[in-house]
Amino acid sequence: MSMVEIIVLGVALAMDAFAVTISNAFCYRGASRARLFVLPIAFGVFQGLMPLLGFFLGGIIGNIIEAYAGIVTLVILGIIGGTMIKEGVSALRNPEESCSIEAQRLTVGVILMQSVATSIDAFAVGVSLRAVNVDIALSAAIIALTTCACCFVALALGKRFGNVLGDRAQIVGGVVLVLIGLKAMFF
């Protein structure tokens, strides 16, 4: 595979993380810049690690993970997205409670779950990269850096649209996460 093909592959793999980063940026308006800065890093690291794992473990457990990747992604993003929708609807019904600190927390646990859920497809790519003669370390690094760069762009977009959407942003973000989970499950 050429460098351009690997970059295109990285951009394609980054699209779920890109969408989740936008959602997080406008849904968790109370999150610190440092916490939001962790998003591109975490998504990039996981998008880079998963192809490595897929490449090396693919022959052993690749079929099992591929078989259940869609449902795992749907469950994780469905729970997170469903909670965001519920909290967004609650905030619209009770505006005085919309500033609740607990409802607006972007925790490390949430970031890790989202990182895993959005990078499971990268594991499958790692399995398929075994069939092609590629430098897996270089490919994984390019995928990680591409994802990180895409997610930094997503942060800026999410902050911009979050201010425009206000309390509806959390509902929109939750719907986006659920749709990504459904896409992983059925397509």
Assess whether pLDDT exceeds 70 at residue 165: no
Kindly report the average pLDDT of the chain as a whole number.
83
pLDDT computed for residue 73 by the predictor? 77
CB-based contact 44:144 (threshold 8 Å): yes
CB-based contact 81:175 (threshold 8 Å): yes
- How many Å separate Cα 6 from the centre of its chain? 19
Length of the chain: 187
Residues with Cβ within 8 Å of 34's Cβ and at least 6 positions away in sequence, in order, are none
- DSSP annotation of 1: -
Mapping DSSP to helix (H, G, I), strand (E, B) and coil, where does residue 126 land? helix
- Once rounded to an integer, what is the mean pLDDT over residues 54-77? 77
- How many Å separate Cα 86 from the centre of its chain? 20
* Rounded-to-integer distance, Cα 168 and Cα 178, Å: 16
Mapping DSSP to helix (H, G, I), strand (E, B) and coil, where does residue 159 land? helix
| pLDDT bucket at 176, cuts 50 / 70 / 90 | confident
What does pTM read for this prediction? 0.74
pLDDT computed for residue 125 by the predictor? 84
CB-based contact 84:176 (threshold 8 Å): no
* Rounded-to-integer distance, Cα 24 and Cα 154, Å: 9
Q: Is the pLDDT higher at 66 or at 12? A: 12
* Rounded-to-integer distance, Cα 75 and Cα 67, Å: 14
- Once rounded to an integer, what is the mean pLDDT over residues 153-181? 77
Tens digit of each residue's pLDDT (9 = 90 or more) over 116-155: 988 988 887 888 787 777 899 999 999 999 999 999 999 9
Tens digit of each residue's pLDDT (9 = 90 or more) over 79-117: 878 887 887 788 778 755 544 434 467 889 999 999 998
- DSSP annotation of 132: S
Task: Say what percent of the chain tops pLDDT 90.
Answer: 27
* Rounded-to-integer distance, Cα 139 and Cα 65, Å: 21
CA 170, 171, 177, 180 dihedral sign is: negative
